[in-house]
Amino acid sequence: ETGVTQTPRHLVMGMTNKKSLKCEQHLGHNAMYWYKQSAKKPLELMFVYNFKEQTENNSVPSRFSPECPNSSHLFLHLHTLQPEDSALYLCASSLILAGDAYEQYFGPGTRLTVT
Amino acid sequence: AQRVTQPEKLLSVFKGAPVELKCNYSYSGSPELFWYVQYSRQRLQLLLRHISRESIKGFTADLNKGETSFHLKKPFAQEEDSAMYYCALSVPLTGGFKTIFGAGTRLFVKA
């Protein structure tokens, strides 16, 4: 599959579980992002990775832990979540080149339900 | 503070009518602005960015620095334009950028 892929597409987990969301981009980009999209607060930026380095943590609770092993892969590790964490989690990637902000390419999202 | 405001949650127009989706931003630097669109059952995708000054699917958006606005316009709406539209502002970070999205406006074009 080309573009930005996310797995799993749907996830149901209990509050004591540990799970991970995976994102992979096949576009040769050097920046990756995690967003949370819910009915109450659409499209909240969570984390930004530029050249595998985390450059933004938007006051996200520590129960969300990102990992970027290389510029093509991004993970979001989840543990002891709360029901209010139920949302659509979107991954995106973009190219950072010569100080210019290029468009972001989004994945299809993982629909997370915390029970 | 950096912020993007889309005052309308829902905009409903008839097919063939003009449409304008409003966007205002708050940013002290030189803004990089985008419009993204999400059609039903599709992923979020770029519609246009201000720096390219293009017309995409009949849509245009002009940056007005005096009014800090970047409204999206189309003279004759089509049913296939029904979607969720997000205005976005990219601001620099050390080594890169982050993008701040507005709350979005759902456009519904009626036959």
**Six-digit token string for A21:** 């969301």
B window 78-97, beta carbon within 8 A of A? 86, 90, 92-97
Chain B residue whose CA is closest to A104: B46
If one counts every other C-beta atom within 10 angstroms of the C-beta of residue B12, the result is 13
User: What phi, psi does B72 have (nearest 5°)?
Assistant: -100, 130
Q: For residue range A19-64, what is the model confidence (pLDDT) as tens digits?
A: 999 999 999 999 999 999 998 777 899 999 887 777 777 789 999 9
Q: Which of A27, A43, A56, A71 to mutate to test the interface with B (most CBs of B within 10 A)?
A: A43
Q: In a mutagenesis test of the B interface, which of A59, A104, A110 is the best target, namely the one with the most B β-carbons within 10 Å?
A: A104
Torsion angle (degrees, nearest 10) of CA A1, B89, B61, B7: 110
Neighbour-count burial for A12-49, b at 16+ CB within 10 Å, e otherwise: ebeeeeebebbbbbeeebbbbbbbbbeeeebbbbbbbb
Tens of pLDDT, residues B16-44: 999 999 999 999 988 899 999 999 999 99
Interchain contact, B43 vs A43, CB within 8 Å:
no
